[in-house]
């Protein structure tokens, strides 16, 4: 089961809203710790102030101290407790919420002490004559509660801001992705035959490379369709003539009663079938090569072995015309290629050479390795190709008028395509045997994929 495709808009929303939420939580945490620190500092100051006030009042008789009118330092002041110890040893006075146990030791200053399961924050101060020790304390949980309240008050705006920011982010993402939706609608509304470039319109810079690649793909697809269209039209045209010839000869054979004319017509039918078979084979080969990806799967193969096999395959047709095929090959000439395609190219070269050479002529195959580059040459003693025609004979279905030989005009087109797929150089020249020399120069190892 394939995974459900992710939504770009959903991913952006999750990431952006998640980032905002995390930032809000981090701000809330920072606010809490900051508030707790500030509350602690303020309340510590209040404790110290309360202790100073008590020290001042100790100048009066202890019985005159009105503990119910202790200064209100903050909203939780009722939780502030105090103790007055004479000489630091005898408890003379304490608030109603203060424990009987000493809140702190004899040392002055701030301290913390757990009493009866609760932690107290205590400020201790001696009177100037060291006669009395005053402890002013506050429960730590009260301080924590105040800090939480302050942090909650600072967090309340975030609780409103985060949903609002999420809405704004959602609207922004929708607006930012609008060009993509417009592009999708533009492509969806196209007819299948419309391969015109996609209009960029107001697409952002980040989307323009994608549109460029889509347009490049459409261009390649258009070229491929045009190639297929031309190929189909040319193939239909080329097949029409031999089919008509076979039909005509078959009708002649049916109409003839004499053995000799009838047999001649049947031989013509068989020859026409052979031509059709070869033409069909070449059409299929060329179609396969045209649809072959630019990067074919290469492997190490022996060019001398491929040449020997091709020469053996072409031998029966050569013997029928008394044509001698010779092979001059160095041993172990290796290259990176596709053996089936190389075999098809060499087979077409030999077929052309045998077809166009007069009886008794010679065909020679040369296989060499020059500085790590394999080279294949097929030479024949035929009529050759004029230099002005050599570029055009590589086109499909192009034949030289007046050659006197029957052919489809696909052989050299197949060779040219095989050379292109192998990034080999194809050269047409004059043969020492008097006809045409076709040479394929293959790249050295490691250069097959070079642009």
Domain termination residue (choose one: 232, 265, 291): 291
**Are residue 156 and residue 14 in the same domain, yes or no?**
yes
**Are residue 287 and residue 298 in the same domain, yes or no?**
no
Residue 157 domain flag: yes
Domain termination residue (choose one: 261, 291, 321): 291
**Are residue 108 and residue 210 in the same domain, yes or no?**
no
Residue 307 domain flag: yes
> Exposed (0-12), middle (13-18) or buried (19+): which is 116, by Cβ within 10 Å?
exposed
Residue 193 domain flag: no
For 253-264, write each residue's pLDDT tens digit.
Answer: 788 778 888 888
Structure-model confidence comparison of residues 199 and 136, the more confident one: 136
**Cα–Cα distance list, 239 to 243, 281, 283, 287, 412 (Å):** 6, 12, 10, 15, 18
Structure-model confidence comparison of residues 435 and 246, the more confident one: 435
**Are residue 321 and residue 210 in the same domain, yes or no?**
no
Q: Rounded to the nearest 10 degrees, what angle do helices 339-356 and 259-290 cross at?
A: 140
Q: Give the DSSP letter string of 357-423.
A: SPTT-EEEEEEEEETTEEEEEEEE-S----GGGTTGGGSTT---TT------S-HHHHHHHHHHHTT
**Are residue 307 and residue 431 in the same domain, yes or no?**
yes
Residue 171 domain flag: no
Between CA 85 and CA 134 the distance in angstroms is 6
For 296-355, write each residue's pLDDT tens digit.
Answer: 677 888 888 989 988 888 888 888 889 999 999 888 888 888 888 888 888 888 888 888
pLDDT range class, residue 122, cuts 50, 70, 90? confident
Residue 418: give the domain boundaries. 293-441
**Cα–Cα distance list, 391 to 45, 370, 401 (Å):** 100, 26, 15
Phi, psi torsion values for 406, nearest 5 degrees? -85, 140
**Are residue 282 and residue 318 in the same domain, yes or no?**
no
Q: How many other C-beta atoms lie within 10 A of the C-beta of residue 393?
A: 19
**Are residue 37 and residue 14 in the same domain, yes or no?**
yes
Tokens 């047999």 belong to which residue?
A: 263
**Are residue 24 and residue 101 in the same domain, yes or no?**
yes
pLDDT at 130: 82
**Are residue 230 and residue 365 in the same domain, yes or no?**
no
Round the CA-based radius of gyration of the chain to a whole number and report it.
50
**Are residue 20 and residue 147 in the same domain, yes or no?**
yes
Q: Is the pLDDT of residue 283 over 90?
A: no
Q: Is the pLDDT of residue 402 over 50?
A: no
Q: Is the pLDDT of residue 102 over 90?
A: no
CATH number of the domain residue 219 falls in: 1.10.287.130
Q: Would you state the structure tokens that stand for residue 138, as one six-digit string? A: 């506050």
Q: Under a CB-based contact definition with an 8 Å cutoff, are residues 385 and 428 in contact?
A: yes
DSSP β-bridge partners for residue 368 = 375
Q: Under a CB-based contact definition with an 8 Å cutoff, are residues 82 and 98 in contact?
A: yes
Structure-model confidence comparison of residues 122 and 229, the more confident one: 122
pLDDT range class, residue 239, cuts 50, 70, 90? low
Domain termination residue (choose one: 240, 269, 291): 291
Sorted by sequence, the CB contacts under 8 Å of residue 102 that are 6+ apart come out as 83, 85, 91, 135
CATH number of the domain residue 365 falls in: 3.30.565.10
Return the closest-CA partner of residue 346 out of 387, 213, 338: 338
pLDDT at 93: 83
Tokens 């596709």 belong to which residue?
A: 338
The number of distinct structural domains making up the chain is: 3
The CA dihedral of 203, 206, 212, 218, to the nearest 10 degrees, is -80
Residue 427 domain flag: yes
User: Over the chain, what is the mean pLDDT?
Assistant: 78
Between CA 396 and CA 370 the distance in angstroms is 31
Mean pLDDT computed over 132-141? 85
- pTM score > 0.75 for this model? no
Residue 183 domain flag: no
Residue 357 domain flag: yes
% of the chain beyond a pLDDT of 70? 81
Return the closest-CA partner of residue 109 out of 47, 36, 42: 47
Q: Give the DSSP letter string of 246-280.
A: HHHHHHHHHH--SHHHHHHHHHHHHHHHHHHHHHH
CATH number of the domain residue 126 falls in: 3.30.450
**Are residue 314 and residue 250 in the same domain, yes or no?**
no
Residue 87 domain flag: yes
**Are residue 30 and residue 103 in the same domain, yes or no?**
yes
Phi, psi torsion values for 259, nearest 5 degrees? -65, -45
**Using alpha carbons only, what angle is made at residue 344 by residues 343 and 348, rounded to the nearest 5 degrees?**
115
Please tell me whether residue 426 adopts helix, strand or coil conformation.
strand
Sorted by sequence, the CB contacts under 8 Å of residue 300 that are 6+ apart come out as 334, 335, 336
Phi, psi torsion values for 125, nearest 5 degrees? -150, 135
Q: Is the pLDDT of residue 364 over 90?
A: yes
| Neighbour-count burial for 136-147, b at 16+ CB within 10 Å, e otherwise | bbbbeebbeebb
């Amino acid at each position: 089961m394939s995974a459900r495709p992710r939504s770009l808009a959903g991913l952006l929303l999750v990431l952006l809203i998640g980032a905002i939420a995390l930032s809000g939580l981090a701000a809330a945490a920072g606010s809490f710790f900051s508030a707790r620190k500030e509350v602690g500092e303020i309340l510590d100051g209040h404790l110290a102030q309360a202790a100073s006030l008590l020290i001042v009042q100790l100048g009066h008789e202890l019985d005159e101290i009105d503990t119910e009118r202790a200064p209100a330092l903050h909203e939780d002041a009722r939780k502030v407790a105090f103790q007055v110890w004479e000489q630091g040893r005898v408890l003379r006075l304490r608030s109603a919420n203060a424990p009987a146990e000493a809140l702190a030791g004899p040392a002055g200053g701030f301290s913390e002490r757990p009493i009866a399961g609760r932690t107290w924050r205590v400020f201790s101060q001696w009177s100037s004559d060291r006669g009395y020790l005053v402890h002013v304390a506050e429960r730590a949980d009260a301080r924590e509660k105040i800090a939480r309240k302050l942090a909650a008050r600072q967090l309340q705006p975030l609780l409103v801001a985060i949903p609002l920011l999420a809405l704004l982010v959602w609207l922004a993402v929708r607006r930012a992705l609008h060009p993509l939706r417009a592009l999708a609608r533009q492509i969806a509304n196209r007819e299948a035959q419309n391969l015109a470039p996609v209009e960029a319109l107001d697409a952002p810079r980040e989307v323009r490379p994608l549109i460029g690649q889509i347009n490049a793909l459409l261009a390649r697809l258009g070229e491929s369709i045009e190639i297929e269209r031309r190929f189909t039209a040319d193939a239909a045209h080329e097949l029409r003539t031999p089919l008509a010839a076979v039909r005509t000869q078959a009708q002649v054979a049916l109409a003839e009663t004499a053995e000799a004319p009838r047999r001649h017509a049947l031989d013509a039918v068989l020859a026409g079938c052979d031509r059709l078979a070869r033409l069909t084979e070449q059409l299929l080969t060329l179609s396969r090569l045209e649809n072959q990806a630019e990067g074919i799967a290469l492997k190490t193969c022996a060019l001398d072995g491929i040449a020997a096999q091709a020469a053996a395959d072409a031998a029966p047709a050569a013997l029928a015309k008394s044509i001698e095929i010779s092979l001059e090959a160095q041993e172990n000439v290796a290259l990176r290629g596709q053996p089936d395609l190389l075999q098809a190219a060499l087979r077409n070269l030999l077929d052309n050479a045998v077809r166009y050479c007069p009886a008794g002529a010679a065909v020679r195959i040369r296989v060499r390795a020059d500085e790590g580059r394999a080279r294949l040459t097929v030479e024949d003693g035929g009529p050759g190709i004029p230099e002005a025609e050599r570029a055009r004979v590589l086109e499909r279905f192009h034949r030289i008028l007046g050659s006197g030989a029957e052919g489809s005009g696909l052989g050299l087109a197949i060779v040219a395509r095989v050379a292109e797929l192998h990034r080999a150089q194809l050269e047409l020249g004059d043969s020492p045997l008097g006809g045409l020399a076709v040479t394929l120069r293959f790249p050295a190892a490691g250069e097959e994929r070079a642009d």
